[in-house]
Structure 1
Amino acid sequence: MEQLPKKTQRTSVRYGMLALVFVNVVINYLDRSNISVAGATISKDLGLSSVELGLIFSAFGWTYALLQIPGGLIADRFGPRVLYAFCLITWSIATVGQGFVRGFASLFSLRLATGAFEAPSYPINNRIVTSWFPDHERASAIALYVSGQFIGLAFLTPVLVNVQYYAGWKGLFIGTGLVGLIWGVVWYLFYRDPLDHPRVNDAELDYIEEGGGLFRGKKSGTNQPSAWSWKNLKQVFSSRTLWGVYIGQFAVNATLWFFLTWFPTYLVTYRGMDFIKSGYLASVPFLAACAGLLLSGFVSDSLVKRGRSVGMARKTPIIIGLLLSVSIIGANYTNDTTFIIFFLALAFFGSGMALISWVFVSILSPKHLIGLTGGVFNFMGNLASIVVPIVIGYLAKGGNFQPALVFIGALGFIGACSYIFLVGKVERVKIGEDEMEGELADRL
């Protein structure tokens, strides 16, 4: 009797690529947040006021946010392997340079440079996940790689605090920068796109593509038509649904950037906690945010697999998370360290839940404008990295941090309302001929 050939077992190369992105995110956030660990000491050594420190905290965001749209276009045009390696190495050089600054101007300039070179990172992340993962695995994949920012900071914040304690804040910047330089080389050696990877088989490629993964026409080295045009930019700025997720992302990032900038200074300067002890306490909210993010991602994908609507499955965890982030205001009503950390952790847990919002870029973007839409989405969200540190600096300049926490909580509530009232039916935004066909069908 003739024996039937065995079905080829599907490879799982996509998870290895996701692991590389995870480490990128860890390093990315180390080099964003090392300034928060060093903030109180830098302020003292360089004689900075709370307003000047707020400007230093915000400097990264100025270039990072403003270059999101160019970063998205670059991510659409160039392969992640070379582009990410370039970004890792250049932002790490800028980080090392921060260990040699002598005043406000030089530190501010190098934080601007760090933000500029990190700008394409999240559009690249989104392109990688869109290429390597089918739709029904994408929220989980996003949750896993974004969790790198929380897992890394949760476990490494005490390490960073101790590095600064023994090597000073200058040693802290030099050390974190060198880690990124080394990893940039590792990334280049090991990352490949789906069509370029030697170990991925046809069964895995078919599985990804049949599930909505977009990697055809994305092979490294091929010339892609530019996504840039005023018409395309107008499209991604004119959709009410997209505006709903833009405002929501600003609110999510408002909480995030409080923790990435002012949080350690809040504990040490405004709550009088010991510097070393604050490093361990600071880990708790980051672990909570990681738990919220992972819970949200897996629950959201589970709801999709059970046949629930994409809108309900994706929006519900985000709305609940944003409402939970309002609880940060509770820290204003207690002097007990345990309760202060509890309210901050609960708020960051909620913010973590809402961070699967990147999945909307894959769901809503016109297929050929994923990078551009991701750039605009990240630009709008990361305006919070400029606004929040500066506003907090002004609100806290009299020595009272309570108005700052009310400000963060209020933004969380606005973000929840944005998802509830602005984000309507969740479907891909139509453009060009597709949009015209849709309008004609509606009229008929």
Structure 2
Amino acid sequence: MQKETGLLQKKRVWIYAFLFTLTLINYVDRVSLSVASKALKDEFDISPVAMGYLFSSFVWLYFIALIPMGYLVGRFGPKKVNGYGIGVWSVATACTALSTGFISLLSCRLIMGMGEATTYPAGARVIREWMPLRERGMATAVFHSGSLVGPAVGAIGFGWLITAFGWRIAFVVAAALGFVWLAAWLKWYAHPSKAPWLGSEERKEIGQDATAAQRGKPAAAALGLSGLARSRSMWAIALSHGCAVYATYFFLTWLPSYLQAEKGLTVMSSGIYTAIPYLGAAILAIIIGRISDKVMRPEAAATGQRRLVVASVLLASSVIFLVPMLESTWAILFVITVSLATCASAVSLNLSLVNDLVRAEDDVGTAAGFITAVGNLFGLLAPIVTGYVVAGSGRFAMAFVVVGVLLVVGAMLSMFCTRRPIGDSASMAAVGG
């Protein structure tokens, strides 16, 4: 038997590169305002309350646009929709450099959020089109890991640009990265059936797992948003996703404050210590995604068995319960790294689970938009709830408990409520659809 060619020798490795750099640029642009906040406060005399609104404004249109963008991905395909998305958010990032005060900054962030709403629905559809079913766990982990590397790269790179050239030039450089990515995307991306640079053997390999898993079954008709919303599995995945995203937003927004307030770290030290778990989590999340693919046969994945891996990593992430009991900063960082990595794995594996269970390819973008929207609703609540908990108790201990409880709840939802395929007539009949 001929030995299987390694992934790095496959042409689709370039699709992995597209997916990783897409989310990396996405999160570099998201963190840019935080890094530039001091310079913006000094130049425009922006109050802390107004700056808080600027920080949150990105999510406003992002949250609203996620499901519509998922529909557009299903209607027009990921190449066109994702191209418009990164084009719009890169223009908004560039225009930030021309801002003259709060209103113009707010407008740019709102438009940027709307543009970035294409990322996850389009990325999920790209994975569905390009990756053999046995690779989807790792592919989604690579895709999502850009969101872990992006904040670290953005904090360091953007900080250096602001120090060396000023905040306006920094936003121009950030926008330029998006335009370079867009040019490469428009030139080289295509559906695998139409990509001229893809060999026939690899093209056949890309589709063979899904074909084997679906052999003997008729092609599924698209359900649309209303049909997806009638599936118990869809809601269970979305709520489990929300529990994981709550934890990731908790880390993103409150980890530096926790390290400063309870561990006595300086602002600079807390930034470095915050970057360590993110970089470690990115590596571990890809490894976990690869392992999930190795232990998962295509036929098993198509029947929702990946839910067992999702439940396992969510339970592992609940190790965050231990943080209030630890004294050593390095021990705390180790636990946070494990929790963040397994939590990030749950986010990416839930996107893989959607790809496994959703029968109609045209529904994948809408389904990804749906669970991402629910996840971001939980994410919006995370910093607010944490603020009240910390204010009420005077410490972070109970905030870590809240996160741990949600992660356990998410694990139970994944284990027991995501068994049914989404789109089979029998499963839809079971929920009255």
Q: TM-score, normalised by structure 1?
A: 0.80
Q: Deviations over 1:353-381 (max 9, x none)?
A: 21221111111213142222222122111
Matched, 1:363 2:356: yes
- Secondary structure of residue in 1 paired with 2:12: helix
- Secondary structure of residue in 1 paired with 2:210: coil
Matched, 1:290 2:288: no
Structure 1 unaligned segments of length 5 or more: list them.
Answer: 1-5, 215-225, 440-444
- Secondary structure of residue in 2 paired with 1:427: coil
Between the aligned partners of 1:41 and 1:331, the Cα distance in structure 2 is 34
Tell me how far 1:170 sits from its aligned partner: 4.9
Residues 17, 308 of structure 1: alpha-carbon distance in 2 compared, 3 angstrom cutoff: closer
How do 1:37-436 residues align onto structure 2 when only pairs under 5 Å count?
A: 37-38=35-36, 46-49=45-48, 53-101=51-99, 104-167=102-165, 170-212=168-210, 232-268=224-260, 272-305=264-297, 313-333=305-325, 336-355=328-347, 356-367=349-360, 368-395=362-389, 400=394, 402=396, 403-423=398-418, 425-431=419-425
- When the two chains are superposed, the root-mean-square deviation of aligned CA atoms in Å is 3.4
Q: Deviations over 1:44-79 (max 9, x none)?
A: 875544x65554333222222221111111111223
Residues 34, 265 of structure 1: alpha-carbon distance in 2 compared, 3 angstrom cutoff: farther
- Secondary structure of residue in 1 paired with 2:336: helix
The total of aligned residue pairs comes to: 413
Letter of the aligned partner of 1:419 in structure 2? S
Between the aligned partners of 1:123 and 1:142, the Cα distance in structure 2 is 12
Residues 306, 257 of structure 1: alpha-carbon distance in 2 compared, 3 angstrom cutoff: same
Tell me how far 1:398 sits from its aligned partner: 7.8
Structure 2 unaligned segments of length 5 or more: list them.
Answer: 213-220
Tell me how far 1:168 sits from its aligned partner: 5.2
Decide whether the 8 Å contact of 2:359 with 2:422 is kept in 1. yes
Between the aligned partners of 2:142 and 2:238, the Cα distance in structure 1 is 22
Letter of the aligned partner of 2:110 in structure 1? L
Between the aligned partners of 1:404 and 1:102, the Cα distance in structure 2 is 38
Tell me how far 1:410 sits from its aligned partner: 3.2
Residues 251, 20 of structure 1: alpha-carbon distance in 2 compared, 3 angstrom cutoff: same
Tell me how far 1:42 sits from its aligned partner: 5.7
Between the aligned partners of 1:166 and 1:399, the Cα distance in structure 2 is 42
Between the aligned partners of 2:250 and 2:322, the Cα distance in structure 1 is 15
Letter of the aligned partner of 1:359 in structure 2? S
Q: 1:33 aligns with which of 13, 31, 36?
A: 31
Match of 2:218 in 1: none
Between the aligned partners of 1:362 and 1:105, the Cα distance in structure 2 is 40
Q: Deviations over 1:2-52 (max 9, x none)?
A: xxxx9xx99833222221222112111211233344457767875544x65
Decide whether the 8 Å contact of 2:93 with 2:174 is kept in 1. yes
Decide whether the 8 Å contact of 2:308 with 2:415 is kept in 1. no
Decide whether the 8 Å contact of 1:138 with 1:359 is kept in 2. yes
Residues 331, 260 of structure 1: alpha-carbon distance in 2 compared, 3 angstrom cutoff: same
Between the aligned partners of 2:174 and 2:393, the Cα distance in structure 1 is 31
Q: Deviations over 1:177-202 (max 9, x none)?
A: 23212322222122222122112233
Decide whether the 8 Å contact of 1:36 with 1:264 is kept in 2. no
Match of 2:217 in 1: none
Letter of the aligned partner of 1:320 in structure 2? S
